[in-house]
Amino acid sequence: MGNLAGKRILLGVTGGIAAYKAVDLVRRLTEAGAEVRVVMTPAATRFVGGATFQAVSGHPVRDSLWDEAAEAAMGHIELARWADAVLVAPASADFMARLTAGMADDLLATLCLATECPLILVPAMNRAMWANPATRANAALLQQRGIRLLGPDNGAQACGEIGPGRMLEPVDILAALDLRAGSGELSGRRVIVTAGPTREPIDPVRYITNRSSGRMGYAVASAAVRSGADVVLVSGPAEIPAPYGMELVRVETAQQMLEAVHSRVGEADIFIAAAAVADYRPAEVADQKIKKKADNLSLDMVRAPDVLASVSALSRPPFLVGFAAETHDLETHARIKLESKNLDLIAANTVGPDKGFDRDDNALVCLWPGGREDLGHGSKATLADRLIALIAERMNAAPAEERQAHAGH
Ligand code: CTP
């Protein structure tokens, strides 16, 4: 969508506890220079009063098709034409179902059916509702029709449960909409991102893995899509819904990740290795469940393939971005990895209790040959946008020939 200044956003608010966050969203959109008109479903008015949205948007709020005075001022078809984008946040499971079915049973659903501008949904619901096959099918169909879904996020929910279904924070919705930070920066570039942990089998029922949730890698892949890139996400097992706008290749082991990457890397301009790939795997996988016998058991482990190092060893490698997750001496270790794997850039973060893994926020420091930039602390979505912007900047600063010379290729 590009810069939000002067953009006319029709914000639909549907019935869900996250409706209160939409008030902050209106404030932020307005601050970014957008003109916002709010339309609420009748259920949404049970959570937040229309007067609140009227106050923050500076315009009357509509919640009915049958309001004669409002229809006389700007009819619903006119309103549908007025918008540069329709953003529905929160989008409830019920609303997504109605949209999928093409219903026009309230003002917002009618507007969504009548508009020809981009439609963006920010789902918010209980994790079981999000996981329900009906919602999964609706989300997939809406995406196939070109409707963009932002989120949902993983985390604590109003109902006390934890899981995917939380509405993205307004700041992250803005980052996703406002492409100023990354607008078209990677347009036309082909990017491969690895994410998540790997699973190295021991026997048919056991495996070795690590604490990576995949969230940082998924956020980076989504940020690359926002900046116009063609993205392939090669993901180890992660409990994150398939993100929008990219090809998702699911793998389990380091070896499978290696193969998935190498079958596509010839085409890639950028390779971002955010996966926490196993360094070692059991030397042999028992074909039957290992039974307990002796008091001690030793597993013979061998090195798993290093996906990033193998891409770096290609004769014409793409622009290479690694991640370093460290518990101590962050920058020293990260710089060693940058040099030993001949990377163009490395993003370093501290991991450990309450840091890095399985959280929505993170802090990144980026290093490259001869340079450094602290991207600070923030949500993984925000940091991912900053990282993509930096990658674009570094690629322009160091053209491919120079980089290959530096890497000794
Ligand atoms: N990496 C990879 N394949 C591996 C191991 C790591 O692609 N088998 C990538 C990671 O995705 C990350 C970078 O390499 O981008 C991390 O470098 P590495 O030195 O291998 O980190 P660690 O595995 O964390 O090393 P160590 O355990 O020695 O700290």
For residue 207, what is the domain's CATH number?
3.40.50.10300
Q: Which of 197, 227, 225, 195 is nearest to 209 (CA)?
A: 197
Q: What are φ and ψ of residue 186, in 5° steps?
A: -110, 25
Question: Do 268 and 246 touch, CB atoms closer than 8 A?
Answer: no
Residue 37, pLDDT > 80, answer yes
Average pLDDT of the residues in 327-347: 96
Task: Say what the pLDDT of residue 243 is.
Answer: 76
Whether 330 is in the pocket of ligand 1, judged by its Cβ within 6 Å, is no
Residue 2, pLDDT > 60, answer no
Query: Any residues with CB less than 8 A from the CB of 94 and at least 6 apart, and which?
Result: 14, 15, 43
> 237 and 163, same structural domain?
no
For residues 320 and 318, give the distance between their C-alpha atoms in angstroms, rounded to a whole number: 6
Q: Residue 401: inside a domain, yes or no?
A: yes
Residue 251, pLDDT > 60, answer yes
Task: Say what the pLDDT of residue 5 is.
Answer: 80
Task: Say what the pLDDT of residue 182 is.
Answer: 42
Average pLDDT of the residues in 21-46: 95
Residue 351, pLDDT > 70, answer yes
Average pLDDT of the residues in 144-162: 85
Which structural domain, as residue segments, surrounds residue 81?
8-177
> Which residue, chain included where needed, has tokens 């409002």?
70
> 87 and 112, same structural domain?
yes
Q: What are φ and ψ of residue 10, in 5° steps?
A: -95, 115
State the closest ligand 1 atom to the C-alpha of 323, by its place in the atom list counted from 1.
15
Query: Any residues with CB less than 8 A from the CB of 303 and at least 6 apart, and which?
Result: 279, 280, 281
> 320 and 217, same structural domain?
yes
Take atom 9 of ligand 1 and give the residue whose Cα is closest.
Answer: 308
What's the CATH number where 42 sits?
3.40.50.1950
Residue 275, pLDDT > 90, answer yes
Residues assigned a catalytic role:
159
Task: Say what the pLDDT of residue 181 is.
Answer: 38
For residues 275 and 158, give the distance between their C-alpha atoms in angstroms, rounded to a whole number: 30
Whether 238 is in the pocket of ligand 1, judged by its Cβ within 6 Å, is no
> 194 and 82, same structural domain?
no
For the ranges 127-131, 327-331, 376-380, which has the lowest average pLDDT?
376-380
Average pLDDT of the residues in 285-296: 94
Task: Say what the pLDDT of residue 82 is.
Answer: 94
Domain final position from 125, 148, 177: 177
Average pLDDT of the residues in 223-235: 90
For residue 277, the CA-to-ligand 1 centroid distance in Å is 6
For residues 45 and 15, give the distance between their C-alpha atoms in angstroms, rounded to a whole number: 7
For residue 149, the CA-to-ligand 1 centroid distance in Å is 32
Q: Which of 364, 368, 346 is nearest to 355 (CA)?
A: 364
Structure-model confidence comparison of residues 275 and 171, the more confident one: 275
For residues 157 and 25, give the distance between their C-alpha atoms in angstroms, rounded to a whole number: 19
Structure-model confidence comparison of residues 339 and 241, the more confident one: 339
Whether 323 is in the pocket of ligand 1, judged by its Cβ within 6 Å, is yes
The residue type at 3? N
> 147 and 271, same structural domain?
no
Residue 360, pLDDT > 80, answer no
Q: What are φ and ψ of residue 397, in 5° steps?
A: -70, -35
For residues 345 and 343, give the distance between their C-alpha atoms in angstroms, rounded to a whole number: 5
Average pLDDT of the residues in 203-210: 97
Average pLDDT of the residues in 347-358: 78
Structure-model confidence comparison of residues 305 and 186, the more confident one: 305
Q: What percent of the chain has pLDDT over 70?
A: 93
Cβ atoms within 10 Å, residue 114:
15
For the ranges 114-128, 154-168, 212-226, 360-374, which has the lowest average pLDDT?
154-168
Average pLDDT of the residues in 297-310: 97
> 210 and 65, same structural domain?
no
> 108 and 48, same structural domain?
yes
Q: Confidence class of residue 353 from pLDDT cuts 50, 70 and 90?
A: confident
> Which residue, chain included where needed, has tokens 């803005």?
174
For residue 276, the CA-to-ligand 1 centroid distance in Å is 7
Residue 235, pLDDT > 80, answer yes
Q: Confidence class of residue 156 from pLDDT cuts 50, 70 and 90?
A: confident
The total domain count for the chain is 2
Residue 301, pLDDT > 60, answer yes
Q: Residue 155: inside a domain, yes or no?
A: yes
Q: Which of 399, 185, 217, 186 is nearest to 323 (CA)?
A: 217
For residues 215 and 147, give the distance between their C-alpha atoms in angstroms, rounded to a whole number: 22
